[in-house]
Amino acid sequence: MFDLQSLLRENIRTIKPYSSARDEYTGAEGIFLDANENPTGSVCEGEFNRYPDPLQRELKVRLGEVKGVVPEKIFLGNGSDEGIDLLFRAFCRPGVDNVITMPPTYGMYQVCADINDVEVRTVSLTPDFQIDVEGVLAAVDQNTKAIFVCSPNNPTGNSLADADIERLLKEFNGIVVVDEAYIDFSNEVSFVRRLEEFPNLLVLQTFSKAWGMAALRLGMAFGSEELIAVFNRIKYPYNVNILTQEKGLEALQNVLKKEMMVQDILFEREMLTDALSKLESCEKIYPSDANFILAKFKVDATALYNQLVEHKIIVRNRNSVTLCEGCLRITIGTAEENKALLEAIKELQAVVG
């Protein structure tokens, strides 16, 4: 039986959260003499002298309409990484508890664990980049607080089987984090729709990829009201600035534009995959549900990467990553950028062979 309160660190369970001025009074009008703000304005153009809504209420209402989720089940943070870090700080006792990751996967799970002095138990994906469910469940002990599932996965690009994720949710009494940063590029149905079914589910999404807002650092987490309430208790008071909140609202008024951008990227993904697969130096293109592809080369991948850098074409070298030997991860660019990449690889493949 899943019991969130029993998973929490004792100090978090009893913590008294900081109460900001905008928590105590949420009205929009009045003479505000409560937050020690500058009443005369800002040194730059715009009205930035007042603190933003600490709970981003208006933005969550609109996001909830788009995602089909009540605002109380939404956490917004400074990128998805804030949600990852808060999970460690809320549930994992330093030097005692552990989490499970499935490499190759997103590197910030390990980084956040290291910062918080939490053990990471790794159970590699299978050779076809799927979950070794038996291996993951065998790695669980009484101090395992979370399992991280990245789907579509980074750096492999593929979606992980829903049935395997469901089994982890049903058989593990800790928190299962499903990181869906790339879900907009996939035909798979988001696990956000299954929050009622699984109280131990935390879904991460982001505005950085499909929405094209990486510079604004706006991440989303969806979970039970109880879980999201924990995040809101321990986050920094004004973790999402007013500019990001305003641009988030603007983005949510342009869902159709986002979908059009996604379709453009998917088209270019198909074109680039087809063209790369025809190159003599390319051994394999792995199936992708993301805005990037993982390509395995017959030539020395590190040498090819370095040669591309010299041509000012920057991809990610995944040659040293588990199960990704000989691979480069390539973000889908514009038609012109992809053409430049292909021409460079054709030029270089004989040199680095």
- Give the contacts of 241 (CB within 8 A, at least 6 positions apart): 52
pLDDT at 89: 97
pLDDT at 295: 98
pLDDT mean over 76-88: 97
* Cα dist from 183 to 140, 159, 301, whole Å: 27, 9, 28
Residues of the chain with CATH 3.90.1150.10: 256-348
pLDDT mean over 99-124: 98
- Residue pair 181/149 in contact (Cβ under 8 Å)? The answer is no
pLDDT band at 330 (very low <50, low <70, confident <90, very high): very high
Mean pLDDT of the chain: 96
pLDDT per residue over 238-286, tens digit each? Answer: 999 999 999 999 999 999 999 999 999 999 999 999 999 999 999 999 9
Structure tokens at 235: 């986050």
pLDDT at 307: 95
- Give the contacts of 35 (CB within 8 A, at least 6 positions apart): 20, 21, 22, 50, 51
pLDDT per residue over 42-78, tens digit each? Answer: 999 888 999 999 999 999 999 999 999 999 999 999 9
pLDDT at 24: 83
pLDDT at 9: 97
pLDDT at 1: 83
**Residue 353 pLDDT greater than 60, yes or no:** no
Which residue pairs, CB below 8 angstroms and at least 24 apart, start in 320-324? 321/103, 321/104, 321/155, 322/103, 322/104, 322/124, 323/103, 323/104, 323/124, 323/125, 323/127, 323/129, 323/156, 324/104, 324/155, 324/156, 324/294
Q: What is the rounded CA–CA span in Å between residue 118 and residue 321? A: 22
Residues of the chain with CATH 3.40.640.10: 4-253
**Residue 351 pLDDT greater than 70, yes or no:** no
pLDDT per residue over 154-171, tens digit each? Answer: 999 999 999 999 999 999
pLDDT per residue over 116-143, tens digit each? Answer: 999 999 999 999 999 999 999 999 999 9
Give the strands of the sheet with 327-331, arranged side by side: 282-285, 292-297, 327-331, 316-317
pLDDT mean over 188-193: 97
Which residues share a beta bridge with 351? Answer: none
Amino acid at 119: E
pLDDT mean over 191-210: 98
- Residue pair 60/245 in contact (Cβ under 8 Å)? The answer is no
List the beta strands (DSSP E) in the chain: 74-77, 98-101, 119-122, 144-150, 175-179, 201-206, 219-222, 282-285, 292-297, 316-317, 327-331
**Which sign, positive or negative, has the C-alpha torsion 73, 75, 80, 83?**
negative
- Residue pair 285/345 in contact (Cβ under 8 Å)? The answer is no
Flag the least confident range among 21-25, 300-304, 337-341: 21-25
Task: Give the end-to-end CA distance of the chain in Å, rounded to a whole number.
Answer: 56
CATH classification (class only), 256-348: alpha beta
Question: Per CATH, which fold does 4-253 belong to?
Answer: Aspartate Aminotransferase; domain 2 (3.40.640)
